[in-house]
A and B are shown apart, each in its own frame.
Chain A
Amino acid sequence: MYSAMVEKISLLQLFILIFLFQIGSAVVVGIAGEAERDAWIAILIATVIGIIIIRLYTYILSYQPGTNLFDIMGQLFGRNASMIISLVYTTYFFYIAARVLRDFMELLITDLFPNTPIEVLSILFMIAVLYVIYLGPEVLGRTAETFFPYIIIFLLLTAIFLLASGDIKMHRLQPILAEGFTPIHDAIFPGLIGFPFGEAIVLTMFMALTNKFQHVTKVSIGAVIATGLTLSTIKIVSISVLGTELSERATFPLLTAAREIAFADFIERIDPIVIFVMMLGIFIKVSVFFFGGLKGLEYVFQVPYRYFSIPIGMIVALFTILIASNYTEHIEEGLQFVPLYLHMPLQIGIPTLLAMIIFIKGKQKKGGITNAE
């Protein structure tokens, strides 16, 4: 519509955004815990499902290329119903932004700043986020593009250093598939689908903004594959360094693994490298969810989203604290409530409904043309 014309991001930036977004908080906390040793297999299988999910989203967007989810829902459901649904999605996006930020804040406070109030860190982080979003999605795209090489290098370095330290013992991955596919199945449904693959629904905000819409599907699927491979590799590294039990017990497995690095007598204690990677991933993720929510508000209130940045930014910072009183509760919420009641209906349920409606409409159109002949 009006603003979509002005802002553009390149396909490469889209790829990077999707990739960094999906590995963003998955590298901070562990994923696929139920599958234990075979978690990496679960991730690879979930990637395939992730591809299907993202294809679903690009299909919905193809209904009206260049618009975003909210506009399409408006078209299909009518203005009033879609206002309510949009508000639901907006709340959802802001809630997840707050959750993801909380994940990272917990990491910072646990490892780096035990005495600093979490509120201060949250507010400072949100100031950075809201400023970038205020400047527009292209700025976010460029930020992601700039930092992307560093993230890759740091992740690779972590893996290489662990290898050089002799901490990686591949036999910790054995016996493979010892308990069969049940634990893998438990890990995938509903956990892995919602996090991180289903969260791509918010990326539909960005997919609309590329200059060459026809390639969006390819780029997105490519990014999902890259994500799956990276996450699986990180899981393999984590298990082969820490062993299954410690990998499951550690609150931040990749960090605990990276703390083992000690070789050449001076490459040790390099926690900050891992934290840097996590911070960037989280930044992209929070920014994207924040932007998604703002776009929802823009749709409902017909006001350019920029104006909402500061007030809503502060509110998200507030809710980062309010969502849980301690880490345990935060994790419990994330495992019990969020996947089943939030992710499933909003990521899969409604989009599938949308897709079906679009499909039927498409058939009707064709049917209409043949009838007219």
Chain B
Amino acid sequence: MVTLASILTALLLLGLVIIIDMFLYKVSFLSSLQLVFDVHLSIGGMYLIVACLFGLAVAVVIDFRRGKT
């Protein structure tokens, strides 16, 4: 459940950001998606990816442990 929630949240937020960019730059959905991942993410993106993977890993562990009880 936790993992599901996290991924859902991430997707929803991503959706919001894409919509906002669509509005600001007046581009289509796909270009906006590309914008987000190309332009917005900067050099330190590696740290973020590690952090998110860590977060997801924790989510999976939590689900696992809760599933047991």
The answer to whether A and B come from one shared complex is: yes
A residues whose Cβ falls under 8 Å from a Cβ of B: 87, 90-91, 94-95, 98, 117-120, 123, 293, 297, 300-301, 303, 307-308, 310-315, 317-319, 321-325, 329, 332-333, 336-337, 341
Report which of A293, A313, A318, A337 forms a contact with B48, defined as CB distance below 8 A.
Answer: A318
Asked if A333 contacts B48 (CB within 8 A), the reply is: no
Assembled-state Cα–Cα distance A135/B6 (Å):
19
- 5 intermolecular pairs with C-beta atoms under 8 Å apart: A91-B9, A303-B66, A319-B13, A322-B14, A323-B20
A311 in contact with B41 (CB, 8 Å): no
Find out whether the CB atom of B13 lies under 8 angstroms from the CB atom of A303.
no
- Chain B at the A interface: SS class: helix
Contact indicator B39/A311 (Cβ below 8 Å): no
Which residues on the B side are within 8 Å of A332 (C-beta)?
24
CB-contact partner of B55 in A300, A303, A315, A336, under 8 A: A315
- Residues of B within 8 Å of A293, CB to CB, are 9
**Please, how many residues of chain B have a CB less than 8 angstroms from a CB on the other chain?**
38
Q: Smallest Cβ distance from A264 to chain B, in angstroms?
A: 41
Contacts of A90 in B (CB 8 A): 9, 12
**A322, B23: Cβ atoms closer than 8 Å:** no
CB-based nearest A residue for B43 = A117
The answer to whether B17 and A322 have CB atoms under 8 Å apart is yes
Within 4-36 of B, Cβ neighbours of A (below 8 Å) are at 4-6, 8-10, 12-17, 20, 23-24, 35-36
Assembly CA distance A293 to B43 (angstroms):
28
In the complex the two chains form, is A94's CB within 8 Å of B9's CB? yes
Known: A117-B43, A325-B40. A318 touches B23 (CB 8 A): no
Task: Give every chain A residue within 8 A of B2 (Cβ-Cβ).
Answer: 301, 303, 307-308, 311
Kindly list chain B residues whose C-beta atoms are within 8 Å of the C-beta of A311: 2-3, 6, 55-56, 58-59
Cα A310 to Cα B4 with chains together (Å): 14
What 5 pairs between A and B have smallest CB-CB spacing?
A: A117-B44, A314-B55, A119-B44, A311-B55, A311-B59
State in angstroms the CA–CA spacing of A293 and B8 once bound together.
13
Contact partners of A303 in chain B: CB under 8 A: 1-2, 5, 66
B69 at interface by CB-CB < 8 Å: no
A307 and B41: CB pair below 8 A? Answer: no
Q: How far is the CA of A317 from the CA of B8 in the complex (A)?
A: 16
Chain B residues whose CB sits within 8 angstroms of the CB of A318 once the complex forms: 10, 48, 51-52
Contact A321 B12 (CB under 8 A): no
Residues of A with C-beta under 8 A to B9: 90-91, 94, 293, 297, 312, 315
The CA-CA distance from A90 to B24 in the complex, in Å, is: 23
Question: Given A95-B13, A315-B10 in contact, is the A337-B20 Cβ separation under 8 Å?
Answer: yes
For the complex, give the distance between the alpha carbons of A10 and B54 in Å: 35
A312 partner residues in chain B, CB cutoff 8 A: 5-6, 9, 55
Chain A residue with the shortest CB-CB distance to B2: A307
Q: B47's contact among A119, A308, A324, by CB below 8 Å, is which?
A: A119
Q: A346 CB to closest chain B CB, in angstroms?
A: 12
State whether A297 touches B40 (Cβ < 8 A): no
In the complex, A301→B7 CA distance in Å? 13
User: A315 and B13 in contact (CB under 8 A), knowing A308-B6, A337-B23?
Assistant: yes
| B42 pairs with A117, CB closer than 8 A | yes
The residue from B3, B20, B41, B55 contacting A321, defined by CB atoms under 8 A apart = B41
Q: Which residues of A contact B42 (CB under 8 A)?
A: 117-119, 321, 325
- Contact between chains at B56 and A322 (CB < 8 Å): no
Give Cα distance in the complex from A313 to B52, angstroms. 9
A297 near B5: Cβ-Cβ < 8 Å: yes
Most chain A C-beta atoms within 10 Å of own C-beta, residue among B14, B16, B45: B16
| Chain A residue nearest to B15 in the complex (CB) | A91
Chain A residues near B51 (CB-CB < 8 A):
119, 123, 314, 317-318
Partner of A307, one of B24, B44, B56, B62: B62
For the A-B complex with A310-B54, A321-B45 known, give 8 more contacts whose Cβ atoms are closer than 8 Å. A87-B12, A91-B15, A119-B47, A318-B48, A322-B14, A322-B36, A333-B24, A337-B20
